[in-house]
Chains A and B, each alone.
Chain A
Amino acid sequence: MPISSDAGPMPLISVTDLDVRFGSDDEIVHAVRGVSFNVAEGETFGLVGESGSGKSTVLRAMSGLNADWTGTIEIGGTRLGRVRGKPFYKRVQMVFQDPYGSLHPRHTVDRILSEPCQIHGMSDIDNRVREVLIAVGLGPTFRFRYPHQLSGGQRQRVAIARALILEPEILLLDEPTSALDVSVQAEILNLLQRLKQERGLTFVLVSHDLAVVAHMCDRLAVMNAGRIVEELTIAQLRASEPAEAYTRQLLKASLGYDRSAAAGMESFD
């Protein structure tokens, strides 16, 4: 395996100096500012940070949904361009923050899952749809339903199935369980862990729930106002050892409500 400059094995994903701006001259939002991180093959890397800190924007730039960025994004040592072709989407798939908005309301589950296969000229589509539904724990009775006939958890399973059906190596997951209640969240997190083990997938997971990140990830980066303020391992997070005050505040707030802690909350921008 080739060796990169920092002597570890070559990362599967490498993001360097990523910058994303929205808007034009007078009203520019500088949403992502010089973000760099590496993710090894088979790793789950977490991105946390408060609302608006730029987490989804990083994922969207990685997945090619937003072409307006600067910096470098490499997958398996290959530098990605602004516009991604089919081979990219065969390797990298994204599951979106909003399970309601991301499924076409007038397409059946069958069509939602078959279409990406047709686009990629895959064979044996019928079997693939059947198998992926089993993999995400949805029986054949769900195959011809429309999104409005599914619960929130079932919809999120369909969204995951749609990402998996192309057999990608990398899943970019944007708050995959934040719209779900805790028991359904547990089912989806278990499902993701199992699929990862079975298929050797690599995940980048965005979440504002530190417990979810600790449960799923190996390492995480904390974002604030478009920058990564700190990168740490889950062991460091569990041991409450963040170096940055911002991360310590995030950790404290995620342990539950505390009136005196609320009074001491600071703004870090």
Chain B
Amino acid sequence: MSGANGGKDGALLTVEDLSVRFHTRTGIVDAVRNISFSVGREKVGIVGESGSGKTMTGRSVLRLIRPPGEITAKRMEFDGQDLLKLSEKQMRDIRGDRISMVMQDPKYSLNPVMTIGEQIAEAYRVHTGASSRDAKTRAVEMLAAVKIRDPERVLSLYPHEVSGGMGQRIMIAMMLIPDPDLMIADEPTSALDVTVQMQVLAIIDDLVTKRGMGLMFVSHDLNLVASFCDRVIIMYAGQIVETCKASELDQAQHPYTRGLLNSLPRLDREPGPLPVLERQESWKTEPGVDAYFK
């Protein structure tokens, strides 16, 4: 892993006033509205209801927003470089190498006409210059590491022949190959059952704690984020309404965060109707709750 920390306070990524808007026929959609945050060599969770802007935030960092979408920011600094000022070529180098992204829909991001084995081996060869024999051995190891049974067989499958949960694990395996400085993982384990999820998260966790990788972990699973991450960013309608330590998420202050927490069924709570979120217009304009930096 290369590079010194460029940002302030040891941050790997510093984002200031990021906005993402889509110019559509029916008007402008503000998907992300003036958000600022930083990510160090730590696990930062991004949570929020569907449509709150989590995916667009993750994709903006890699400048992966397609027209009619448009990204603006005062600053988006990764390891001392302003990502908004890099050429598309420089950006491609960063994407393949220093920042990896596990997409929300893994099957879309795999090449449909190449086998899983060819794709992993190619990614490995491109990155390390290894022989194709070595690349295949490594590919088998990587699949086994993400708990895929019978990895030899899976290497010969095409993307449409694997289940959603297998696709997610294959993507995670591929994203680990370049040994990135920053990983953006968008719902990376939503199709996995809880035991496999735990084992896959342990691999990612070790990369953060042992090799100092930074992680942006997008998820709508509040319990998982609370137990897995170091810090949490809570998004509503394209804005950050609250940030807090993950271990203190259950004491979150913002009524929206409280609403999300309360709507969860719990093993330790007797059944009865679940409270549902009552959204307030004022959440879009009021300042957020920042429990972390206080």
Mark contacts of A159-181 with chain B using CB atoms, 8 A cut-off: 1 yes-contact digit, 0 otherwise.
00000000000000000000011
- The answer to whether B267 has its CB under 8 Å from any CB of chain A is yes
How many residues of chain B get a CB closer than 8 Å to chain A's CBs? 39
- The answer to whether A198 has its CB under 8 Å from any CB of chain B is no
B139 → A minimal CB distance (Å):
21
Q: Which residues of B contact A (CB under 8 A)?
A: 49-51, 163, 165, 191-199, 201-202, 205, 220, 222-224, 226-228, 259-260, 263-269, 271, 273-277
Closest to B48 in A: A181
Closest to B209 in A: A259
* Segment of A7-15, A63-71, A105-113, A185-193 in the binding face: A185-193
How many residues of chain A get a CB closer than 8 Å to chain B's CBs? 42
Closest to B49 in A: A181
Residues on A with beta carbons closer than 8 Å to the beta carbon of B265? 186, 189, 209, 211-212, 214-216
Residues on A with beta carbons closer than 8 Å to the beta carbon of B220? 181-182
Q: Is the CB of B192 within 8 A of A51?
A: yes
Cβ-neighbour of A210 out of B49, B267, B269 (below 8 A):
B267
A34 → B minimal CB distance (Å):
22
- The answer to whether A253 has its CB under 8 Å from any CB of chain B is yes
A99 → B minimal CB distance (Å):
12
Q: Is the CB of A208 within 8 A of B267?
A: no
Residues on B with beta carbons closer than 8 Å to the beta carbon of A216? 265, 271
Residues on B with beta carbons closer than 8 Å to the beta carbon of A51? 163, 165, 191-193, 196
A148 → B minimal CB distance (Å):
15
Contact A256/B205 with A183-B49, A261-B198 known, Cβ cut-off 8 Å:
no
Alpha-carbon gap, A14 to B273, bound state (A): 29
**221-269 of chain A: CB within 8 A of chain B:** 237-238, 249-250, 253-259, 261-263, 265
A267 → B minimal CB distance (Å):
8
**188-206 of chain A: CB within 8 A of chain B:** 189-190, 193-194
Closest to A52 in B: B163
List 8 A-B pairs, minimum CB-CB distance, nearest first. A256-B227, A215-B265, A262-B202, A186-B263, A186-B274, A253-B194, A257-B228, A50-B193
Query: 23 A-B pairs, CB-CB below 8 angstroms?
Result: A50-B194, A50-B195, A181-B220, A182-B264, A183-B259, A183-B263, A183-B276, A186-B263, A212-B265, A214-B266, A216-B265, A238-B268, A253-B195, A253-B197, A253-B198, A254-B194, A255-B223, A258-B198, A262-B198, A262-B201, A262-B202, A262-B205, A265-B195
